[in-house]
């Protein structure tokens, strides 16, 4: 009788095993530099605060901005040159048409000398060569314009990446100081997504069967929460346990509060 009672109690005890977890931000991200340069400004006052819409790190972009302005001016000049050459091409096209017509007419005249015919052909060939040369120049200008537009987009992208602006993110820690030089991939800041929160548990293997169907009790009170995610490979640190996460609304005051978690 006692053995049967013990057997019945063991599953119940396992199901009610108590865990303790901190209320953590839903996600933590380490921002890394996408462009190289010297850090010229760091907003130390923003560290440890929820940044609404503000720049927290600025990497030197002075030369990039000069290059951008020069490239924009070069683009304007190229577009002007393209317009001029298109007008020249239109004019040459008419000349080619007239010269070709004249050559065909005179080549059929028995009274025209060979010299006249040769001169007419040379004029026609010369006009056509000029026309084709201008068309080739137009194609080259169009290619240069495409390259300039691409360069402008690249410079704008680089400049944007040198200003680290946060939108409704909690700046946990700045990882660079003013005056430091950063290369692509250098850590800049650690930020938290605090729009939601999570509880991280480490479960024993015997707790896993049917885990997503169990009810979550927080500090002894029943909730509508459930296990949202379970790792199927044992944790690197807690090698005999499996990581699981419960997603909950963000607290109104402070994170990191310790909570008692029961799965029943």
Tell me the three-class secondary structure of the chain, residue by residue. CHHHHHHHHHHHHHHCCEEEEEEEEEEEEEEECCCCEEEEEECHHHCCEEEEEEEEEEECCHHHHHHHHHHHHHHHHHHHHHHHHHHHHHHHHHHHHHHHHHHHHHHCCCCCCHHHHHHHHHHHHHHHHHHHHHHHHHHHHHHHHHHHHHHHHHHHHHHHHCEEEEEEEEEEEECCCCCCEECCCCEEEEEEEEEEEEEEEEECHHHCCCHHHCCEEECCEECCCCCCEECCCCCCCCCCCEEEEEEEECCCCCCCCEEEEEEC
Average pLDDT over residues 141-146: 97
pLDDT reported for residue 99: 87
pTM for this entry: 0.74
Using the predicted structure, report yes or no on whether residue 194 has a pLDDT greater than 90.
no
pLDDT grade for 253, boundaries at 50, 70 and 90: confident
Q: Which pLDDT does position 4 carry in this prediction?
A: 45
Q: How confident is the model at residue 1 (pLDDT cuts 50, 70, 90)?
A: very low
Residue 6 has pLDDT above 80, yes or no: no
Domain 13-60+164-263 part of CATH 2.40.50.100? yes
- The pair of structure tokens assigned to 257 is 């509060």
Tokens of 120: 């007419």
pLDDT of residue 129: 92
pLDDT for 228:
92
The two tokens of residue 258 are 């310790």
Residue of 89 and 110 predicted with greater confidence: 89
**pLDDT score recorded for residue 16:** 57
Q: Is the pLDDT of residue 116 over 80?
A: yes
pLDDT at 159 over 80: yes
Confidence of residue 103 (pLDDT cuts 50, 70, 90): confident
Report whether 178 contacts 56 (CB < 8 A).
no
Q: How confident is the model at residue 3 (pLDDT cuts 50, 70, 90)?
A: very low
């Amino acid at each position: 009788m006692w053995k049967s009672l013990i057997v019945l109690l063991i599953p119940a005890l396992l199901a009610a095993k108590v865990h303790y977890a901190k209320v953590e931000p839903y996600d933590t991200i380490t921002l890394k530099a996408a462009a190289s340069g010297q850090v010229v400004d760091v907003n130390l006052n923003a560290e440890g605060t929820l940044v609404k819409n503000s720049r927290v790190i600025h990497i030197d972009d002075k030369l990039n901005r000069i290059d951008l302005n020069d490239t924009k001016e070069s683009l304007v000049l190229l577009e002007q040159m393209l317009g001029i050459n298109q007008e020249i091409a239109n004019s040459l096209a008419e000349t080619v048409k007239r010269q070709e017509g004249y050559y065909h007419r005179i080549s059929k005249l028995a009274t025209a000398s060979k010299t006249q015919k040769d001169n007419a052909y040379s004029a026609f060939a010369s006009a056509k060569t000029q026309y084709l040369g201008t068309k080739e120049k137009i194609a080259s200008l169009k290619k240069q314009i495409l390259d300039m537009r691409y360069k402008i987009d690249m410079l704008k992208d680089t400049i944007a990446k040198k200003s680290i602006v946060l939108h409704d993110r909690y700046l946990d820690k700045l990882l660079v100081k003013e005056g430091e030089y950063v290369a692509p991939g250098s850590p800049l800041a650690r930020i938290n997504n605090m729009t939601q929160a999570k509880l991280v548990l480490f479960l024993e293997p015997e707790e896993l069967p049917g885990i997503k169907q169990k009810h979550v009790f927080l500090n002894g009170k029943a909730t509508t929460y459930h296990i949202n995610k379970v790792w199927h490979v044992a944790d690197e640190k807690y090698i005999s346990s499996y990581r699981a996460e419960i997603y909950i609304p963000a607290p109104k005051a402070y994170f990191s509060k310790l909570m008692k978690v029961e799965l029943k």
